[in-house]
Amino acid sequence: MNYNEAIKELEKLSNPTFKNIKGMARFGIKPKTKLLCVPVPKLRKMAKKIGKNHNLALKLWDSKMHEARILASIITEPEKLTEKQMDKWVKDFDTWDICDQTCMNLFGKSDYALKKIKKWSNSKDEFVKRTAFSLIAVMAVHNKEMKNEKFLDFFKLIKKASTDERNFVRKAVNWALRQIGKRNLFLNKNALQLADEILKINSKSAKWIASDAIRELNQWKIRI
């Protein structure tokens, strides 16, 4: 499938009714790019038909269509991903779903992920900063080879960012803390200790992040 065929297929699947656009907006999905309202399962089905195609992915990303960018993150070949491409794409993130989908489909598989987490966690841009913590959450779930110590290294970043009041940042910080704490018993214990420290910070955001994490991580501990 070439670029023109892919765009035609996306437009065929699109259903940007007022109801659908309004529904996505209620979930905080209000991109600056063109919104086609194509469900992710349909994008994944389309991606299987296309297969991995790095050059097509680059062209789809530059189309400035929201769903085309999600599709691009699925079909890109992780081994061909460069730091330059990561830095370019992350600056285009304008919704939480494009951020999280790209982290899950692509960035989390990159050898540059750890380096980018440290850099992006200090960004002033809301979605770039969110990307750092979404990456931590994704790696906690999917990177089975990663050592506990690597996740402990993220604790300073999580604690520092816990006072960020911006909605999409604080939710990603909370997500990262919860997923680390659900990785194993050792990290569960340490994540709960970190949450207790964050809970004492004089910040509305920090207290929400910590209390929500404590509630879920204690329940997880009981289940196992």
Summarize pLDDT for 42-73 with one digit per residue, the tens. Answer: 999 999 999 999 999 999 999 989 999 999 99
Q: 89 lies in a domain? A: no
Alpha-carbon span 163 to 201, nearest angstrom = 8
Reduced to 3 states (helix: H, G, I; strand: E, B; else coil), residue 65 is: strand
Per-residue pLDDT, 222: 60
Q: What pLDDT digit, counting tens, does each position of 17-44 carry?
A: 766 777 777 777 887 888 888 999 999 9
Whether this prediction's pTM lies above 0.85 is answered by yes
Both structure tokens of 156: 């300073």
Q: CATH code at 144?
A: 1.25.10.10
Q: Which of 10-19, 131-140, 147-156 has the lowest mean pLDDT?
A: 10-19
15 and 37 Cβ atoms separated by less than 8 Å: yes
Which of residues 35, 60, 80 is at a domain's end?
Answer: 80
Domain enclosing residue 31, as ranges: 1-80
DSSP string, 71-114: HHHHHS-GGG--HHHHHHHHTT--SHHHHHHHHHHTGGGSTTHH
